[in-house]
């Protein structure tokens, strides 16, 4: 019988882990909501817009080739540059960076493509409520059912990892160390606003990023620069608000947040038409980006028990490509474990 592995978490880190695990292993993925995690997209009135991670930066050639092979024609490269603006709102050129990508049908389709290529069995809407160590296996409780696996990959946000570690029936000092380390990870919240306009807003850039990263709006992206996202003659702008603004306006309504953001962007780019979107959307990521990580030596130690840990908080970089690389590493580490110790 094939050895079994469960991947807890259907974000891009979990997808990387599933992709790296050998075909000879029976892999099951548990995702509490829908595949994608913070690589999330929404659809409205013929438009597709990314409301979490705005794009995936693929600087590493091998990583880029892996994603391209898995996603195929659904991978969209964003060929417009990113510019920057300072505290006075002055827009200037930014040094050239590596290619940025989304998905033709939304950035969440990139994660879906990786899972499909991996051949893993996906169980959406399956919240894992317990992760226990019994008889040399990992016993997962999800949707009221308990199932045993030979190994596990924990690819969930730090806060969810804390809950599982603290509640785990696992008699090991390491369990408590992992719980404390995950609990110590600091995060900053992110408000994301999407603004739709019934006209084409033209510019020679894809996005604008704040130099100081402390302004009210720290990122503005033009979704129409992603093929297939916005119909001709329309515009969708996605904005990420600064953490200081999000903290100071935690009680602001979604409408107040959207309209204030629209006014800010209109001033920034000098186009008063942008003050009045014909529709808007808003999402708050309460623990959007980790601001620190764990000691690399700590997350190597659970491998002894057939447990790998992945995610942007493990990678110490709150970016999608780092989470993906973390997942790939976790999957490869477990693959090496099975290869070197078939009876583990």
Quick one: three-class SS letters along 265-311? HHHHHCCHHHHCCCEEEEEEEEEEEECCCCCHHHHHHHHHHCEEECC
- Exposure string over 250-288, b if 16+ CB within 10 A, otherwise e: eeeeeeebbbbbbebbbebbeeeebeebeebbbeebebb
Q: What is the pLDDT of residues 274-319, one digit of tens each?
A: 999 999 999 988 876 887 777 888 989 999 999 999 999 998 888 9
Is the pLDDT reported for residue 164 higher than 80? yes
First to last CA, the chain: 14
Secondary-structure class of domain 42-105+187-290 per CATH: alpha beta
Q: Provide the pLDDT for residue 344.
A: 37
Show me where the domains of the chain are located. Answer: 4-39+111-186+292-340, 42-105+187-290
Is the pLDDT reported for residue 340 higher than 70? no
Cα→Cα distances 13→97, 124, 149, 281, Å = 23, 16, 19, 26
Q: What is the pLDDT of residues 180-223, one digit of tens each?
A: 999 999 888 889 999 999 999 999 999 999 998 778 999 999 99
Q: Provide the pLDDT for residue 16.
A: 97
What number of H helices and E strands is found in the chain?
10, 20
CA–CA separation, 282 vs 190, rounded Å?
A: 11
Q: Provide the pLDDT for residue 241.
A: 93
Q: Provide the pLDDT for residue 288.
A: 67
Q: Provide the pLDDT for residue 59.
A: 87
Q: Provide the pLDDT for residue 1.
A: 53
Q: Provide the pLDDT for residue 343.
A: 37
CA–CA separation, 76 vs 177, rounded Å?
A: 41
- Taking the alpha carbons of 31, 33, 38, 41 in that order, is the dihedral positive or negative? positive
Mean pLDDT of the chain: 92
Q: What is the CB neighbour count within 10 angstroms for residue 219?
A: 19
Is the pLDDT reported for residue 33 higher than 90? yes
- State the number of CA atoms in the 13 A half-sphere of 235 facing the CB: 19
Contact assessment for residue 147 and residue 29, using Cβ atoms and an 8 Å cutoff = no
The topology (CATH level 3) of 4-39+111-186+292-340 is FAD/NAD(P)-binding domain (3.50.50)
Q: Residue 340 contacts by C-beta under 8 Å, 6 or more apart in sequence?
A: none
> Could you tell me the pTM of the whole model?
0.94
Burial of 152 (0-12, 13-18, 19+ CB in 10 A): buried
Q: Regarding predicted confidence, which is higher, 290 or 165?
A: 165
Is the pLDDT reported for residue 342 higher than 50? no
Q: What is the pLDDT of residues 49-105, one digit of tens each?
A: 999 999 999 988 889 999 999 888 889 999 999 999 999 999 999 987 788 999 989
Specify the DSSP element, H or E, that contains 128.
strand 128-134
Percent of the chain with pLDDT over 90: 78
Q: Provide the pLDDT for residue 250.
A: 79
């Amino acid at each position: 019988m094939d050895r079994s592995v469960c991947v807890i978490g259907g974000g891009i880190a979990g997808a990387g882990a599933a992709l790296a695990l050998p075909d000879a292993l029976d892999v099951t993925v548990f995702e509490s909501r829908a595949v994608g995690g913070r690589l999330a997209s929404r659809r409205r009135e013929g438009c597709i817009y990314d409301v979490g991670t705005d794009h995936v930066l693929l600087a590493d050639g091998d990583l880029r080739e892996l994603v391209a092979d898995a996603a195929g024609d659904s991978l969209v490269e964003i060929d417009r540059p990113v510019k920057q603006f300072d505290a006075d709102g002055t827009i200037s050129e930014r040094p050239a960076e590596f290619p940025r990508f989304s998905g033709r049908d939304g950035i969440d389709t990139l994660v879906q493509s990786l899972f499909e290529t991996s051949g893993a069995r996906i169980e959406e809407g399956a919240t894992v409520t317990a992760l226990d160590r019994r008889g040399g296996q990992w016993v997962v409780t999800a949707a009221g059912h308990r199932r045993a696996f030979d190994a596990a990959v924990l690819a969930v946000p730090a806060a969810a990892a804390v809950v599982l570690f603290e509640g785990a029936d696992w008699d090991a000092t390491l369990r408590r160390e992992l719980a404390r380390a995950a609990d110590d990870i600091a995060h900053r919240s992110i408000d994301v606003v999407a603004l739709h306009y019934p006209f084409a807003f033209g510019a020679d850039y894809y996005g604008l990023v704040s130099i100081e990263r402390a302004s009210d709006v720290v990122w503005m992206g033009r979704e129409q620069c992603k093929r297939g996202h916005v119909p001709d003659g329309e515009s969708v702008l996605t904005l990420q608000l600064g953490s200081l603004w999000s903290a100071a306006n935690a009680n602001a309504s979604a409408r107040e947040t959207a309209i204030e953001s629209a006014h800010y962007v209109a001033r920034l780019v000098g186009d008063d038409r942008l003050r009045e979107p014909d529709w808007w959307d808003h999402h708050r990521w309460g623990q959007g980006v980790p601001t620190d990580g764990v000691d690399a030596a700590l997350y190597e130690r659970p491998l002894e028990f057939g447990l790998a840990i992945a995610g942007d908080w493990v990678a110490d970089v709150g970016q999608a490509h780092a989470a993906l690389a973390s997942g790939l590493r976790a999957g490869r580490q477990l693959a090496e474990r099975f290869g070197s110790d078939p009876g583990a």
